[in-house]
Structure 1
Amino acid sequence: MSSELEKSTNSAPATAPPYFWGDMPEEEYYTSQGVRNTKSYFETPNGKLFTQSFLPLDCEIKGTVYMSHGYGSDTSWMFQKICMSFSTWGYAVFAADLLGHGRSDGIRCYLGDMEKVAATSLSFFKHVRYSEPYKNLPAFLFGESMGGLATLLMYFQSEPDTWTGVIFSAPLFVIPEDMKPSKTHLFAYGLLFGLADTWAAMPDNKMVGKAIHDPEKLKIIVANPQRYTGKPRVGTMRELLRKTQYVQENFGRVTIPFLTVHGTADGVTCPSSSKLLYEKASSADKTLKLYDGMYHSLIQGEPDENVAIVLKDMREWIDERVERYGAK
């Protein structure tokens, strides 16, 4: 990566357009993509969540998908590309900024209690999932990166048969060795009786530069005004270390149909995250896709020809599950 590109990961261009697609008004852009977008806030006991829906304009809704983004990101900007893709396939898509992210409440990128973070998004997802227009349709969870970890926790927190299936995109179940927080640092901060939990004091490994394969898309992604650019917080890294270990020990509890996809050159989350889930899950219907040479951000950050491969696999998988399992 060039030094100029490395600099671009630290600050957004001064003349960045208001949207990742440029200056076109939002409603006009969504219409051009074949979707209708709505935005709202959802009240929970843990704070307000910023939520969005993406509904297909010109086709019948055949299922619903509930999406969670990764660390430091949000449901706006380029994450919408995932939402809109599924919507154009005939799915009603609902997404929420995780607590501490985007326009939701909470300390920026503080994830001191991942169970609470997951439960908060789950409360919104279940509210929609059981609402009158959608309660009899197949329903899928989708989680990207750290959102994959949150999504798996949501699945564990859900009643049986709540969901038809789950899709994981480069999920964070195993932290790469060079990304793991220092146990010495965590122990030292732990001696402060929790006072340091929200401190943005952990080493920054420049994750965004390791996540995006396409240099031009990297420039767009770092221009996201909602993106968190500070150092990781002590409690966040402690909790991610703890919860990744927890889910590894509980993969056998996974019985739902799922698809998990990973790039073999992912420098942010280990491809072994997907491999271990696939090997240890008890699901009778499970699918693993590994993409040779692809990075972490499979839909937002790869060259277009690679993105098309990943989306084709996701579309075939979800359409087949709708056909196979049908409405409840």
Structure 2
Amino acid sequence: MKHCISRSGLRAFLLVVLLCSAALSKSYAQVAPPDAAPPTASGNITYQTFYDDLAPYGSWLDYPAYGSVWSPRVDEDFRPYATNGYWDYATDGWTWMSNYPWGWAPFHYGRWIYDNTYGWLWVPGYEWSPAWVTWGDYDNYYCWAPLMPDVNVGIAFGGWRPHDFYWNAVPRGNIYDHNLGAALVRPGTINRISRHVNIINNFNTTNGHNQYYSRGPAVGDVEKFTNRKIAPSTIVPVNSAAQVKHEGNQMKVYKPQVQNPQPREFRQVQVPEAKPVRTDDEWPNAERNTQRNNIEQLPVMHTSPSDMGRGGGFGRGGGGRH
């Protein structure tokens, strides 16, 4: 009997200890400092992150009218939203999934221009979207083209048509292919494509500043042409570019909010040397090796400490692009 009372007392003692421990843990959780919480996914960055992260993969140029632009160190056949990546469908619309280690930035922020002297150039912006492109269709093709910096995304831009060279096209049945480049139609194959393409007016707005972007073709139409059932993925923000991937039904993307610019090193382009392709009578004819040599011959400039964070000079106009 005495032994039984001892065991009962021990159980009661242990119960008291457990209750006190739980109360203490709850009390500690209530007074834990705010910085003990996990960081918000994606968070905030500055334009300096663009400059530092992309510098190993290309060259920064000070370009007339647009300020800071980036030239990727890529092969001759590179095309934005066409090379080394694929389209995936998310609840926010068709989203470009890039296989480049730097793809988190130039395909989801800012715009692209093509300069005959320097090749494809990325103009940074501060607003994330699944892709900054215009979508269309023509005959048996789905077509899309990167937006240029001058396109006003404060309104639906269905009336804007880029130069023929900017358009990418694939047979409708191949738009969902992961090896998209194998089906890509070369520029100029479709004669006067910009005049014939039917713009897809399917727009949505971004979460940050309500800027318009094109969601792309209706998923039901794509399913019909590809003979595949397409389940929309959910976009999940992550904390770094290294975490970007498509996992199950989740599209993990790095989409931080972006603040102001200033690069540490850049190359200076003079006004007479800038030759952006805009009109129908201008067709690119320079080889990629020549363009890279043109960039390497530009004078290298460095940002002084007093210039860091200044709104003027290099990066002018950067805050106005999305």
- The structure with the largest alpha-carbon Rg is 2
Quick one: higher RCO (CA 8 Å, sep 6+), 1 or 2? 2
Task: Tell me which protein shows more helix as a share of its residues.
Answer: 1
TM over 0.5: no
TM-score range for the pair, normalised by the shorter chain length? under 0.3
TM-score (norm 1): 0.27
TM-score (norm 2): 0.28
Task: Tell me which protein shows more strand as a share of its residues.
Answer: 2
